[in-house]
Structure formats: C-alpha cells, structure tokens
A and B are shown apart, each in its own frame.
Chain A
Amino acid sequence: MSALTVYVEGAGVWSPQLADFDALRAAVQGQVPTPPSTRPAATVLPAGERRRAPESVLLAVEVAAQAVAMSGREAATLPCVFTSSHGDQAIMDYMCTVLASAPSELSPTRFHNSVHNAPAGYWTMATGCHAPSNAVCAQRASVGAGLLEAASLALADARPVLLVCSDVAGNGPLAEVTDSPAPFGCALVLSPQPGPSTLGRLVLHLCPGSIADVPASSPVPAEWIASSPSAVALPLLALLAQGGGRCRLMAAGSLAMDVDLEECA
C-alpha cells in the first residue's frame, strides 16, 4: 500500500505522572513534571455530569479537550474516534459482581455508561458535535488500530479527525486478565492537510507480517509504557514532543505499523 500521511494539529495526554502534553515535553527533556491531581479535570463537561461521570469518561474527555484546544479547531466540527482496549473496567467489575448476586439490582445509569462508546457519547454531547463518532478496540493493538481508523477517516473524507486513546486501571478480579495497572489517556487532532497549527507530519506504513517491536529507545520510562494498553502511544507522543523520528506500533494482532514523524516548520 501507499503510505497514509496526516498532520498532527494538537495533542493531549493524562496519566498519573503527566497532566498534559507540556508535562510530557518536560519529561522527555529529563525534567520531572508535577503530577496532576488524582482525577482528570474534564472541565468541558457540565459540572453535574463531571461529578457523576465515570473515570473512563473524565479521562477521555480531558485529553480530547486538551488536543482540540491546542489545534484551535471547533470541537463540534470534528469527527472522533475513541479507542480503548478494555473500556470502563470499573463498571464491568461492578456489573459482573451484581449480576452474580442480585441481577435485578443493576443500576440503569451504570448500565448505559458501560457501553464502549460512552466517552464518545459524553464528548459529543458536551461539545454539541453531530459529526460521526466511533468507539473501537483491538486488544493490545488498540492505539495503532485506532490511529489507522482515524487517519483513514481524515483522508477519505478530507476533514480533520479527533483520535482519543484511553484506558482506566484494572479493577477487581477482572484486573488479573486485563494487565492495565494504571490509567492512561492521550489524544491527537489529525488533519489531511498541513495548516498553521501543524505540529508534525505523520506517515503511516503498514508492515505485513512483522510483529517484532523495534527495540524501545524511547526517552519515556519503560514502566510508563507498560502501565496501560493505551500507553503504547507514549513513544509516538515522545517523538512529537522531541520534533521527529520513527516508532513502531501494532496495528492489529499480526500487523505492525511504522510511524514516521517529521517536524513541520
């Protein structure tokens, strides 16, 4: 295939160590950024919803808002792709626990918040966005597969797209099989054309059959990357913070994707 080329116009990030993309910039320069508060602020949400919203929604909405603000785009106009390997594990744990003991006591609100597209739903409501919204996953390849989906949407429909990758920490017995000890979220605004707020050019190239990760030489601590299925985006975000380079993501279970990032003046 020919490579897919898109332009990054904004980036957001939130983890127990990183409050935003500036914190990541500081981290790759060897500084120790001030950690954020324990709950993502997600100030885009109306106050009532912010209090009630599950952490999975706060996390996704927080990084989405950071990326869109940096891009200078209008959130309402952006189609969005939300990717998450495990969705809301706290709600899954709650539901499976209640269903095993007293199924008729299941909370209706928690049930409707359990859908994989809950963050997309709350985001589109908070921003008045009627553009297409999507919620996807691909096991440990959710970041790469989501990036491919978002880039193909941006190029096929010739419009900028918001990509959000997030996973909350594992919860209860489920945590044993999800291997995601910490929350992590990040977001990118991807445009088919370069523009005044372009941060860098991403060239995506699928590498059929090659599943071995290139040796990690990221300036980001390996334990951060291993802390969440969504944190595999960190080497790519670090390239963006540094100005350029190449990394490799899984786009599917047996399909790698080389990502070349070039700084744009």
Chain B
Amino acid sequence: MLQPINPLAVSAYTATSALGRGREAHRRALEAARTGLRANDFSLAPLACWVGRVDGVEQAPLPAPLAVWECRNNRLAWLGLHQDGVLDAVHAARERYGATRVALLVGTSTASIGATEEAYRRLGPDGGFPEDMLRPPIHAPHSLAGFLAEALGLEGPCLTISTACSSSAKVFASAERLIRLGVVDAALVGGVDTLCESVLFGFNALGLVSPAPCRPFDQARSGISIGEAAGFALLERAGAAPDAPRLLGYGEASDAHHMSTPHPEGLGAELALRDALARAGLEPAQVDYINLHGTASLKNDEVEAALIARAFPPATRASSTKGFTGHTLGAAGILEAVVALLAIEHGLVPGNLGAEQPDPACGPQFAWSNEARPVHVALSNSFGFGGNNACLAFARAERGA
C-alpha cells in the first residue's frame, strides 16, 4: 500500500491559453463563462473545426541570444514564463538553491514539430532542409526543455515527458520523486504544446475532431477542439512557502487496452485516481472539485463520467474546462492543474462549458454552470494515447501543513 507523501508547495504558477495570458485572464474568462475557442484560422489547408489559439504568438519573437530556438512552441513557452512572476520565482530559486539543484521537467506531445513541418514544406533543390531550419535542437522532442534550460540558466536534471495528453501532469510526479530523494531542492514543472498541422490533421484522420466548438459530456458531443497552451509551476518543500497551495499527491497508471481508445471500464483512470488519493491520504468525500479530462470525444467522456459517478459522493463537484480552452494535448495537464489551483484560490467551481444536454452517464457531481463555494481539495485528471493516465491532487496550504 502506498504511503502518503509529504505535500510540496506550489510556490508560483501560471497558464497562458486561448483564454489569455496568466491566471487573472483565466479567472475572468471562467467567471464569465466565456470560451476562448474560435473557427479554425490556423491550418494552412482548410479544416472545418474550432481551435483554442493563443493571440499574439506571431508578434512575440524570442530575444536575439535565444534565436536558435525560434519556433511557435518555444515562443509560447517564453510568453507563458513571463506571467504571474514565475520567471522571478525561478531566478530566486536558482539563487537560493543553486542552478544544479533546480530540476526542469516539462511535458509536451509534439514540441516544435511545427518547425519540422515547415522545413519539409520548404525543402531545397537538393531535397534538404533550408539553411534557416538547419537547427537540430528544434527538430527533436526535447526542444522545449532544451530551450527553457538555456533561457533560465538551469543546470540540474532536465527531462521531457512525452506521454501524449498526460505529459504535463506526470511532470509533477517525477518532480516529487527527485525532491523526496534529495536529488534537487526545487523543480520547475510545466508543459507547452502549440497548434500544428500534425495534430489538426492527425486527430481529424482519427475522426476525433468536432466541426463545432467541443461540447464535453453533452449527449450529442461530436469530438474535440484542439487548443494550445503553456503553463508552469514551481515546486518546493512545504517549509519554503508556508502559505502556498500544496501538491498533495499524484497517481499514474496504464490502461493496457488500446493506442487511441480508453479502457471501456476506465481501469487505468481509476487506478491513477486511487493512487493519487492514497498518496494524498484522502478519502473521495474529501475532494471538493475535480477538473476532468473531458475531451468531448465519445469514448473518453462516457468512461470518465462513469468513473466519477461510481467513485465520488454527490457533494464532490466535477467539470471539464475544455469547452473554454480546447484540448491542449501535452499542455492539458499543467493548464488544468492551474484551473484546479484557481478553483482553490478563488472558491470558483468552473461550469462544464459547452454541454446543453448532459450525457445520461453523468452523475450529480457535475457542475453544469459556475458554482461559488470553498474548494479545499481539487483533483485534475489527464489521460493520453497509449492508455496513459495521470491524476493530480492539490489543496489549500492549511490542509497540507
């Protein structure tokens, strides 16, 4: 049986998505029940769908000394880092602990594949990459982490986790292990994924993209809307930030079922949930809010709704916020961790935007519209292709103290 972990302080955190830059932009959009989705104006070839696109990435080049890392994904990472004091907090942690004692663990599904796509569109007469794209580090899945390590001057353990749509949830688990074992004193965790042709046409080929704005947990839902996001959280031992919210626990598990379809009984998702509760030392009834994976794909929502209905009492509130942001894939874990932390910070249970006729599988736990109520403990679910499941548990400072 798993032992509860010592909670960690989330001493700084932020998100940038279609809802805007930083926590306040997210809080305002959630409170106003305002979606960030728009008709697809991103893909080069037309594709009738909706996307969660971040404004202003095109106008935000990287600083000249970092230009070798230029690509949409690293630009969004750089934009995201400059919100909510995260950059200052990382610099302070580097000063306090030393550059080798701060781990950098980031999740991404496709990293800067958009740059590789561009290189293939502009192949030279010799069939090779154009000169300006001959930058090997941006054509590897570690591009995001490599860029961040250089931009932040971090010299400790540095790892990319790429488990599709659970990537930037699992970074919290790896960070907790490194801190617990004394390998590092703090960790910057996070994730960034950006819109690119690969995911738009790839999910479309699988028949998973909705032609309309996504409607998680609606009876007539017709698939996902793809979004992009960047998010970060600085994790330290609880004593370093007594008033900061806490990472209480995490769970990870595998479906062992199918590459792109969830286990029909949600086996891996339930194992990850039970694991997270055990590490957090929580009973289901102590959970106030769950930010669901809720992609609006037919199968995911059916399986996840059934899991919530059987595992939690009616007083626990649950919703998907992908109707606001779209499914931000490898960045969904961190983005929705930030939503869970905002729920705790502001006593705001965000409504499950986009659903008009709830799927009958949904229990009384669903918050179909916003609810103002104290949130002491919040979970966030993230599930990915390959049957890769993760669940995170956060709490107010006093609960973890």
A contact residues vs B (CB 8 Å cutoff): 1-2, 4, 79, 85-87, 92, 95-97, 99-100, 103-104, 106-108, 111-118, 120-122, 124-125, 127-139, 141-142, 145, 148-149, 152-153, 155-157, 173-174, 176-179, 206, 208-209, 251-255
Contacts and interface: CB of A to CB of B under 8 A. Distances in A.
Interface in B182-202: 182-184, 197-198, 201-202
B129 interface: yes
A96 B120 contact: yes
* Secondary structure of the A contact surface, majority rule: mixed
B131 to A, nearest CB: 12
B219 interface: no
B123 interface: yes
B215 interface: no
A79 B135 CA distance: 35
Interface string B112-138: 010011011101000111000011110
A107 B204 CA distance: 10
A121 B387 contact: yes
15 contacts: A104-B205, A107-B205, A111-B202, A111-B206, A117-B162, A122-B259, A124-B254, A127-B256, A136-B160, A142-B142, A145-B157, A155-B181, A156-B181, A252-B155, A255-B100
A110 to B, nearest CB: 9
A255 B176 CA distance: 20
B253 A117 contact: no
B140 to A, nearest CB: 6
Interface of B: 2, 43-45, 47, 98, 100, 109, 113, 116-117, 119-121, 123, 127-129, 134-137, 139-142, 145-146, 149-150, 155-164, 170, 173-174, 176-178, 180-184, 197-198, 201-207, 252-260, 267-268, 271, 384-388
Contacts, number: 237
A130 B142 contact: no
Contacts of B145: 138
A133 B386 contact: yes
Contacts of A1: 181-184
A125 B256 contact: yes
